[in-house]
Amino acid sequence: MQPGTTVPAPPSRQAVRNATLATYAAFIGSGFAFANWASRIPQVRDQLELDPAALGLVLLAIAAGSLVALPLSGPVVTRLGSARTITAMAVVLGVGLVVAAFGSLVGVVPVLIGLFLLGFGNGAWDVAMNVQGTVVERHLGRSIMSRFHGGFSLGTVAGALVGAVMVAFSVPVAVHLPIVAVVVVLVVVQQTRRFVPDRDDTEPDPAGDASPVSALAAWREPRTLLIGVFVLAFAFAEGVGNDWISIAAIDGHHVSEVLGTLAFAGFLAAMTIGRWFGPGVLARYGRVTAVRGLAVTGIAGSLLFVFAPVPALAYVGAMLWGLGASLGFPVGMSAGGDDPRRAAARVSVIASIGYCAFLAGPPVIGFVGHQSSVLRALVLVAVLLGVAALIAATVREPERSADA
């Protein structure tokens, strides 16, 4: 710092509390919007007469949009800040929902365009809200990232339940999703005004270097890349659950559409519970032990869902699957933000790798399901969670020096 330069005051306790609530709102809004879409996938599939392979390719548009946005999001968040990034991306996501909703009445092409916009908005929004989450964690002095992701899961539970009600009352997709888009955009844009600045020059740099790392440099860091692979495995488990549980329950376990949507809601509810109680679990056992135990839980749950002889056991499997997948993504984001000066670039890289699961997940499950069945294809979830358990040591908390 140059002599005579004024040091900006850190945010007040009230400002940090407001930012904490606003960050919850960003996570909840993102989850609510996505789950409302996911809850209507079976109806869109039927309206467009898609087989599993074709549906997998349509869902690929979401991941494609995210993967275009994610590499760009690090520099964008660094330049514009998380608040303005989320504001812009909420509008993009809302437009995508509306286009996809009306496209379901017309044909596959407008649905693909809408889902690409949905994925693009969601991808950059995801990085920005995780960066703000790491900022809030530092100001609070404790880890609550999993609770922010629990807010996302709470939003997905609420969205899935709203979707189940819309299905039960035969509300058209073209009416349901535009209303959701307007509500989400209005609420989230208003809440981002309460964010605190992403960077605070009054904070010490644990690495002893005040210069932020570039996105390109972050791609050359072995630990960052391994965390990305770890997140990819958990993202695959989460994303496949979001996209395919309701369809697998309906087609594989032969339950009604409403009960299939409720299986999806049970998966999300268990994930929400795991994320809400995650800080206590992480504080007691540490990141590595906690995520390894949950990976094993997710393996058991996904296999039970696939091979359950009766639907009741499949619902238990769905909930264990959701619980097991709950902490991998938020722990990976926290690990990426361990060094505050490099959080935006590293979170962007980790999220980019993780979202490859959303790129690969829908078509892989769709193509394998086309050859056998969607239900049997879900065994791949257990395989990738096994990989996550093996490399979990990469998210270990960094050792802090006495000076830091």
Around 164, how many Cα atoms within 13 Å sit in the side-chain half-sphere? 17
What is the three-class DSSP state of 165? helix
Report whether pLDDT(7) > 80.
Answer: no
246 within domain boundaries: yes
pLDDT at 256 over 70: yes
pLDDT-derived band at 206 (thresholds 50, 70, 90) equals very low
**pLDDT higher than 70, residue 204:** no
At 245, which CATH number?
1.20.1250.20
In a domain, 286, yes or no: yes
Please write the tens of the pLDDT for every residue from 139-161. 887 778 889 988 887 898 899 88
> What is the torsion angle, in degrees rounded to the nearest 10, for the CA atoms of residue 301, residue 304, residue 310 and residue 314?
20
- From first CA to last CA, the distance across the chain in angstroms is 19
C-alpha closest to that of 146 among 127, 161, 130, 159 = 130
Closest CA to 143 of 351, 337, 291: 337
Output the furthest CA–CA distance in the chain (Å, rounded): 73
Determine what percent of the chain is predicted with pLDDT higher than 90: 46
Q: What is the mean pLDDT of residues 238-265?
A: 87
Domain that holds residue 77: 15-198+213-395
Res 215: pLDDT = 63
pLDDT band at 279 (very low <50, low <70, confident <90, very high): confident
- pLDDT score at 116: 96
**pLDDT per residue as tens digits for the range 333-373:** 888 877 767 777 788 888 888 878 867 777 788 888 877 78
For the cut 90, the answer to whether the pLDDT of residue 299 exceeds it is yes
The whole-angstrom separation of Cα 270 and Cα 267 is: 5
pLDDT > 70: percent of the chain = 92
For the segment 375-386, the average pLDDT, to the nearest whole number, is 92
CA distance 376 to 22: 40
Q: Is 102 exposed, middle or buried (0-12, 13-18, 19+ CB in 10 A)?
A: middle
pLDDT higher for 403 or 191?
191
Q: Is a pLDDT exceeding 70 seen at residue 55? A: yes
- Coil, strand or helix at 197: coil
The answer to whether residue 3 is domain-embedded is: no
Query: What is the structure's pLDDT at 139?
Result: 87
Token pair 């091979």 is found at: 307
Helix (H) or strand (E) holding 56: helix 52-80
Q: Nearest Cα to 272, choosing from 325, 219, 206, 314?
A: 325
Read off the pLDDT band of 374 (50, 70, 90).
confident
User: Considering the domain boundaries, does residue 325 fall inside one?
Assistant: yes
- Using an 8 Å Cβ cutoff, are 278 and 146 in contact? yes
Q: Quick one: average pLDDT of 193-218?
A: 64
Cβ-in-10-Å burial (0-12, 13-18, 19+) of 379 comes to middle
Mean pLDDT of 47-52: 86
| Contact predicate 53/247, CB 8 Å | no
Task: Quickly state the pLDDT bin for 138 (edges 50, 70, 90).
Answer: confident
Higher-confidence residue: 1 or 58? Answer: 58
Q: How confident is the model at residue 60 (pLDDT cuts 50, 70, 90)?
A: confident
Residue pair 283/147 in contact (Cβ under 8 Å)? The answer is no
pLDDT of residue 49: 86
Q: Which residue has the tokens 């005040």?
A: 210
List the one residue out of 154, 149, 155 whose CA is nearest residue 137: 149
Whether residue 177 lies inside any domain: the answer is yes
CA 269/CA 267 separation, integer angstroms? 6
Number of structural domains in the chain: 1
Q: Is the pLDDT of residue 99 over 90?
A: yes
Phi-psi map region of 200: left, alpha, beta (phi>0 left; psi -120 to 50 alpha): beta
